[in-house]
Amino acid sequence: MKFSLFIARRYLFSKRSTHIANRISHITLAGIGLSTMALVIVLSVFNGLDHLIKSLFSSFDPDIKIEASQGKTFSLSDDSLHQILKIEGIQSVCGTIEGEALLRYRDRQTVATVKGVCPDFARVSGIDSMLTDGGFTLSEGDLPGGIIGQDLAWQLGVGLNFINPLHLYVPKRNSSFFSDPATAFSHRYLFPTGIFSIQADYDATYLLVPVDFAKTLFGFHPGEYSALEIFLRKNQKAAPVTHTLENYLGRRYQVLDSYRQHAYFYKVMAGEKWIILLILSFILIIASFNSISSLSLLLLEKKQDIAILQSMGARISEVRRIFVLQNLFISLIGLAGGLVLGIFFCWMQQHYGIIRFPQEGSFLVSAYPVRIVFRDLLLISGLVGMVGVVTGWVPVTVIKKHYFSPISEA
């Protein structure tokens, strides 16, 4: 092995670099390096976007959400709520009420989702960090307040003042519109106290109100909720708590962790990431095909050296290993260079935001987020190493009969 390693290193770093085989080797090295750098950068950008969106979801959605398996509402006693709160790892339990309502502000109106939340919702969720105007205040004295999404506020022309109220209309439960239209709707009003911006679907849809206000608006009974939102303690894993809740509540309820709450979105993100990885892997493989050409030319150039080595007692496997190792060296050097450049570019992007979004100000962040994951670096390294071994072994195996004399392996 030391003999093959020494010769391979001599061939690779030979000062006679004017031969076409050496030029092709340099092109292959550059191609592998650039492909590796592209893999690191693209996967890191996907990781950054994925982490950013998950953090935005966590600012609005709970760690665990409990819903009814059938129907839109369910009832739980106070004792059951206390028992849930006693489960290890749970920091807070917030019963929420959610439904559609017609919103009217001055001469504008639209349909939106009204969500009633508990008073400490801002503290446990972190939505107060997503406010673009005002504060997270669900009441001002005896007057109820509401936190409205940025796009929804723009549609209605909402301003944060206590002059013009925001009116809410909801069809009453078990009432007939045709029998008495005047009493078919429940009507209440509040004053917007804050505007939040999280994600387009939330910003254009949600109005957050006190849970008691929502209970009166939608006509819910005491102990009746649309969902229970559970927030966990810091560094607490969701899986054991989810398992405990499923055993306690039974099949009448759905216990949804953060992944199951947005399962479709996470599947799409993971699918896009793996498709991009597959495409860039094909580019890497195509770039590595130059190794076959360079090794073929090198074998032709070193045919006389091969004969001399065999006459001196070198076995065919040792001579073959020389060229496989040389190609592996090229792959490893390209891999190392690509990793260094990719990590350096990601570091620059993290600290200086070199590549920015096209319209600054329309996004929560001005530059593309990147996040380097060590597992991805291992995956890229394994892929490049495997391609290097295969593209090095194929040519010396296929054309060995033309370049190696039939000397015994013994």
DSSP string across 62-79:
-SEEEEESSSS-EE--HH
Distance CA 85, CA 216 (A): 25
Looking at the structure, tell me whether residues 85 and 215 fall in a common domain.
Answer: yes
Q: Where is the domain boundary, 261, 289, 321?
A: 261
Residue 113 placed within a domain: yes
Domain of residue 97, residue span: 64-261
Judge whether 326 and 392 are in contact, CB under 8 Å. Answer: yes
Looking at the structure, tell me whether residues 161 and 235 fall in a common domain.
Answer: yes
pLDDT given at position 407: 46
Q: Where is the domain boundary, 261, 278, 308?
A: 261
Residue 75 placed within a domain: yes
Looking at the structure, tell me whether residues 243 and 389 fall in a common domain.
Answer: no
Residue 332 placed within a domain: yes
Burial letters 214-233, b for 16+ CB under 10 A, else e = bbebbebeeeebbbbbbbbe
Looking at the structure, tell me whether residues 141 and 186 fall in a common domain.
Answer: yes
Looking at the structure, tell me whether residues 100 and 233 fall in a common domain.
Answer: yes
Looking at the structure, tell me whether residues 322 and 178 fall in a common domain.
Answer: no
Looking at the structure, tell me whether residues 309 and 179 fall in a common domain.
Answer: no
pLDDT-flagged residues of the chain (< 50) = 17-18, 361-362, 407-410
Residue 410 placed within a domain: no
Looking at the structure, tell me whether residues 127 and 239 fall in a common domain.
Answer: yes
Q: What angle do CA 206, 211, 213 make, to 5 degrees?
A: 90
Residue 77 placed within a domain: yes
Q: How many domains does the chain have?
A: 2
Judge whether 169 and 102 are in contact, CB under 8 Å. Answer: yes
Residue 393 placed within a domain: yes
Looking at the structure, tell me whether residues 226 and 325 fall in a common domain.
Answer: no
Judge whether 196 and 147 are in contact, CB under 8 Å. Answer: yes
Looking at the structure, tell me whether residues 270 and 298 fall in a common domain.
Answer: yes
What is the rounded (10 degree) CA torsion for 85, 89, 90, 91?
110
Looking at the structure, tell me whether residues 19 and 128 fall in a common domain.
Answer: no
Tokens read off for 182: 């005047």
Residue 409 placed within a domain: no
pLDDT given at position 361: 47
pLDDT given at position 206: 95
Burial letters 134-144, b for 16+ CB under 10 A, else e = eebebbeeeeb
Q: Where is the domain boundary, 261, 290, 311?
A: 261
Q: pTM for the full model?
A: 0.73
Q: Tell me the HSE value of 308 on the side-chain side, using a 13 A CA sphere.
A: 4
Q: What are phi and psi of 360, to 5 degrees?
A: -65, 135
Residue 408 placed within a domain: no
Looking at the structure, tell me whether residues 42 and 106 fall in a common domain.
Answer: no
